Amino acid sequence: MLTQFFALNLRDPQARNYMYREIPEHYCPTSWEYLLTINGMTFSTFKKLAEDRGFLETDHSIRDCLVEATSLRMPYALQEDYQTANNVVESDLTNMLLKDLNELLNLHGKKIDDYDLPSLPPNIIDRGGTGKTFLYRTLMESLRSRGEIVLATASSGIAATLLPGGRTAHSRFKIPIDIQPSSICGIEKQKDLANLIRFAAAIIWDEAPMTNKNCLEALDRSLQDICSNNAPFGGKVLIMGGGGFRQVLPVVRKGTKAQMITACIVQSHLWNHTKILHLRQNMRSLHDQEFAEFLIRIGDGVEPTKPDDMVRLPLHIAIPLEGEHSIQVLIQHIFPNLELHGWDAPYMVQRAILTPTNDDVQKLNDMIIDQFPGEEHNLLSFDEVEGDNHNLYQQEFLKSIAQVF
């Protein structure tokens, strides 16, 4: 087929106006050498050509990234990028090595105490905020420091990235996408994943209130089967967390409000086996108690509403919508003097505009980028799916998914 494509291009100049799938659109290849040549340079393989064009990741990608960073960032900012082991005390390096080694051993049902190696320190203190994610991380580090296995999952990919080793619950437990009341997880009892679950001391499921109860019940049936235990979840400790039921409820396609409420995990028979613990102090809004109480009133349904259940925002946190000009006012409010701070990383990372859809993100990004100083450059990128060892997702499909930068 491809050789006929070459022959057509040689015979009929008009065919050179079409691409391969509909007979090429623009410039057409007339030979293998033509395909391997770009900007007058002929490559020995298609892989080398793709690497040169930036379509594939190479061993030099990280190096090239760091080299480019030196032309964009000031020396004081680059210090964070080029931290070396010399800035870490030897005891910390040893503990980091032992921690990573212990996690690898846990995957095989072993622990570091099984070998003639130093023991892990009793506590690993994590830095950062003090919210539920901090609590999960502390629980995980405490259990893992004793050689226990903890499986960290979340209902969404974003939440999963906040947990060490976190994955979505669907990915970790192979929960069916088209979930039904009688569904089970696609875990085979003799496979490594089943053994990992048997050895696990606890399972953490973040943002559980967003989950359809059928997913939870499918996991319950599967764990009972894998662990040969009729207790809820096969006797495993399941820590379900989240922001309560004031946030996003399970999505029921074309469902009513009543159907979404029915799909909540509180409607599951498993909820009777749940012990509820509350984190009552809003650490994120610790210095803005008025706003924190405002959010609670909305969640409890006691804040006065307008028609169609609309809530009036306090004037000091709202920008009136008056056409496209209001969007520019919003941008100026969040990114003041952008033309002076376009390359100021600390300035940029402290600001963000959140929107409900990726399309809105793209529109806002385009408007903001237009205000950046300097000349615009288009850069090539490559896409990949983590863990896709069998190349199930082709580049054409990945490119068809809307990207947000």
Q: What is the pLDDT of residues 194-239, one digit of tens each?
A: 999 999 999 999 888 889 999 999 999 999 999 999 999 999 999 9
Contact yes or no for 79/68 (Cβ under 8 A)? no
pLDDT, mean of residues 80-97: 53
Of 143, 149, 99, the closest CA to residue 120 belongs to 99
- Asked whether residue 138 is assigned to any structural domain, the reply reads yes
Q: Single out the residue in 273, 289, 304 at which a domain terminates.
A: 273
Q: Single out the residue in 240, 273, 306 at which a domain terminates.
A: 273
For the chain, give the percent of residues with pLDDT over 90: 20
Number of domains comprising the chain: 2
- Pair (394, 255) in one structural domain: no
- Pair (141, 255) in one structural domain: yes
- Pair (163, 244) in one structural domain: yes
- Give the pLDDT confidence score for residue 122 in this predicted structure: 45
Q: Give the range of the structural domain holding residue 226, as residue numbers without chain letter.
A: 122-273
Q: Tell me the two tokens of residue 281.
A: 């102090």
- Pair (262, 326) in one structural domain: no
What mean pLDDT, rounded, does the chain reach?
79
- Give the pLDDT confidence score for residue 225 in this predicted structure: 94
pLDDT, mean of residues 140-158: 88
Q: Single out the residue in 273, 306, 335 at which a domain terminates.
A: 273
Q: What's the Cα-to-Cα distance from 363 to each of 199, 205, 222, 378, rounded to whole Å?
A: 48, 34, 44, 17
- Give the pLDDT confidence score for residue 401 in this predicted structure: 66
- Pair (258, 346) in one structural domain: no
- Give the pLDDT confidence score for residue 136 in this predicted structure: 85
- Asked whether residue 75 is assigned to any structural domain, the reply reads no
Candidate from 62-76, 165-179, 358-372 with smallest mean pLDDT: 62-76
- Give the pLDDT confidence score for residue 215 in this predicted structure: 95
- Pair (232, 134) in one structural domain: yes
- Asked whether residue 7 is assigned to any structural domain, the reply reads no
pLDDT above 90 for 151: yes
